[in-house]
Amino acid sequence: MCGIIGIVSQNGPIHEELEKGMAAISHRGPDKLGRWFESDGRVGLGHTRLSIIDLATGDQPITDGLRTIVANGEFYDFEAIRSELEKEGFHFKTKSDSEIALHLYKRMGTACLEKLRGEFAFAIWDSQNQTLFAARDRFGIKPLFYTQHKGKLLFASEIKALFAAGVPAIWDEESVLQVCAGLILHQDRSLFKGIRQIPPGHFLLASKNSLKIQPYWDFNYPEQGHTKKPPMEEAVLETRRLLEDAIKLRLRADVEVGCYLSGGLDSCAVLGMANHFSQRPLRAFTLSFGNDSAYDERTIAEEMAKHAGANFEPIPVTDQDIVDNFRESVRHAETVCINPHGVAKFILSKKVHAAGIKTVMTGEGSDEVFAGYPHFRRDLWLYNSEGQDPKALAEALEQLKANNSVSQGVVLPTQESPKSARIKQLLGFVPSFFETNFQMGEKLGMILQPEFGKRMAEREAAFLFLNELDLSRQVLRRDPVNQSLYLWSKLALPGYILTVLGDRMEMAHSLEGRLPFLDHKLVEYVSQLPVSYKIKGLSEKYILKEAAKPYITDTIYKRQKHPFLAPPAAGRDEGPMAEFVRSQMESSSGSRFPFFNEKALAGLNAQLQKIPAAQRGIADPLVMVIVSLNMLQDVFRPGTE
């Protein structure tokens, strides 16, 4: 894992800008800084290296004289591709995985992406054709931002590198409206004007007078009536085989590999399989929130680590830890958070790095593949209820609420929203996660400046999001749960889960995360299976539970999904968290997000002092968005236009 940056200029040399940009993301790769410049000084590529594969010769940029690459991430099974290329006469300068992309591009052009497997973002400058080719992995695990400014095309792993290279920080009003409407940022946007992301599964191709973004991969859920339905036993065995294969590939490293472990099925399945195939016991790192039984999973995780034969290393996190690390976690995320869980992951990564680990296995992505979140079950029971007993359905929905009390208002809606009508017109139903997002948006709208709040109320944020997708080819005529899975994976997966709970928290501490559930061969198989294989009765991720059963404890096998959440910050009566939230809600505290209405914010602050404990979780997303927007203003000081 590394940090990458590049500048293609139509004006003068860009050496100084590139160096400043590299310095801003040196945390992503502290082992070695590398740079390459075109002979005229108008094109530069920079690389900050975290050495994982080929510690001796794998420095970047790598060039063959006509093409030069900088890459962030991992290309798995690269040895087989390298052997194939060597037989065709290609010569390698390093033993790293990154060099295969350079030679594949020479052989196949942009179609080289079909051969690459893993978590990656990379760029190749083609000197012969004066073309920049940049690509991002299929799911958006690795970030890649780009912008055009004063005759320059710039790209980087993080926005702060673009700021350091001279791009001004200005709030993007359209993106701010989208966030304040309750939606997570669309896959190609950022909160800052003119700065975009290459969407997951897309590549950028740029020459002197042209810039194009093209897709190369998508989920491709089957239309209703065209779903493959192999025997359940066969599907379980194939799912197990594919997941085992993905995990074995991700154990390949020239440094020690650790594992993040919670009390959930996903990380437990990864640990169980990984430790089985590892040549030595893995170290399993678990966050512990003390005596808060609704959020602390230490006991369950410790049982799993013992079962797997791994070395269990708990990492306690206190309220004071959250407060002390909040600002830095938001600075690295460069976006908003809805719960302190992102800060907790930031602290976890810091402690794991201090323990001497450079790369960890994580369980992110499983819920998006196997329909794990409770809102997917709600969608099944509400919109695919043919043949179901209405009384049993009502009881199931009530049980769903009771079993997910801590995630009410976070991943499960508490009421319907009038903004849902437009989505129903387009899709024929309303995915439950939209209802939850709208509820937060309605509350945020009440504390915005009147003119800005009016524009937000008039804007159809969800319609604009859906309008940018290929609904006809990828969404409509699919099972409602598959539609929800697809939309969630275009919005929350890259825009939040893989950012606030993934790459940005890990790489803040030079730590590489590996995500076996987002191996595209596994995803392509599971996406074609019937929804009934993923959700069976009250059991979510049914086929994954069966596939992982030989590797996990009985406790995990029988346990329902609990989203990874930290104890809410909202509504505390006393202590460091209460003081922190109060200080951020008061107008006297530091730099203030410019679109807030101070009087309305003060009123909300007063209401929060009286909120019942049972409603803290519902209020927390609102509070966290407010606090993180203030933090972003304080850190980057963006202007408005």
Residue 531 and residue 483 in contact, taking contact as beta carbons nearer than 8 Å: no
Rounded Cα distance between 380 and 374, Å, is: 10
Q: What is the pLDDT of residue 406?
A: 56
Pair type for strands 131-136 and 67-75: unpaired
Residue 386: the pLDDT is: 58
**pLDDT at residue 411 above 80?**
no
Question: Does an H or E element contain 67, and which?
Answer: strand 67-75
Select the more confidently predicted residue: 560 or 303: 303
Is 337 noted as a catalytic residue in this protein?
no
The answer to whether 439 touches 409, Cβ cutoff 8 Å, is yes
Q: What is the pLDDT of residue 410?
A: 57
620 versus 636: the higher-pLDDT residue is: 636
Is residue 294 pLDDT above 80, yes or no?
Answer: no
Per DSSP, helices labelled H in 54-156 are 78-87, 99-108
Range in 1-10, 49-58, 432-441, 576-585 with the lowest mean pLDDT: 49-58
Mean pLDDT of 235-245: 98
Q: Looking at residue 387, what is its pLDDT?
A: 54
CATH of domain 246-366+491-558: 3.40.50.620
Average pLDDT over the chain, rounded to an integer: 90
d(Cα 620, Cα 624) in Å, to the nearest integer?
A: 6
How far is it, in rounded angstroms, from Cα 381 to Cα 396?
8
Q: What is the pLDDT of residues 176-213, one digit of tens each?
A: 998 988 888 788 999 999 999 999 999 999 998 899 99
The residues, ordered by sequence, that sit 6+ positions from 603 with a Cβ below 8 Å of its Cβ are: none
How high is the pLDDT of residue 57? Answer: 67
Q: Which pLDDT tens digit goes with each residue over 592-619?
A: 899 998 888 888 888 877 777 767 777 8
DSSP 406-470: GGBTTTB-SS--GGGHHHHHHHSS--HHHHHHHHHHHHHHTTB-HHHHHHHHHS-HHHHHHHTS-
Average pLDDT over residues 9-13: 88
**From-to residues of CATH 3.40.50.620 in the chain:** 246-366+491-558
pLDDT at 413: 67
| φ and ψ of 253, to 5 deg | -165, 155
Question: Can you tell me which residue has the tokens 């290296």?
Answer: 49
Q: Are strands 67-75 and 62-63 parallel, antiparallel or unpaired?
A: antiparallel
Task: Find the mean pLDDT for residues 44-59.
Answer: 79
How does strand 62-63 pair with strand 43-49? unpaired
Residue with tokens 């101070």: 598
CA dist 284 to 271, 440, 500, Å?
8, 35, 21
Instruction: Return the structure tokens found at 461.
Output: 């944020």
**Residues 47/33, Cβ–Cβ less than 8 Å:** yes
* CATH code for the domain defined by 2-215: 3.60.20.10
pLDDT at residue 404 in the model? 63
SS (H, E, C) 205-225: EEECCEEEEEECCCCCCCCCC
The model scores a pTM over 0.75: yes
Who wins on pLDDT, 408 or 77?
Answer: 77
Contacts of 230-236 with CB under 8 Å at 24 or more apart are 230/529, 232/533, 232/543, 232/546, 235/529, 235/533, 235/543, 236/543, 236/546, 236/547
Handedness of CA 579, 603, 404, 235 (dihedral sign): negative
pLDDT of 405 reads 60
Does position 30 have pLDDT exceeding 90, yes or no? no
Question: From CA 117, how far away is CA 76, in angstroms rounded?
Answer: 6
pLDDT at 400: 74
Residue 151 has pLDDT above 90, yes or no: yes
Which residues of the chain are in CATH 3.60.20.10 domains?
2-215
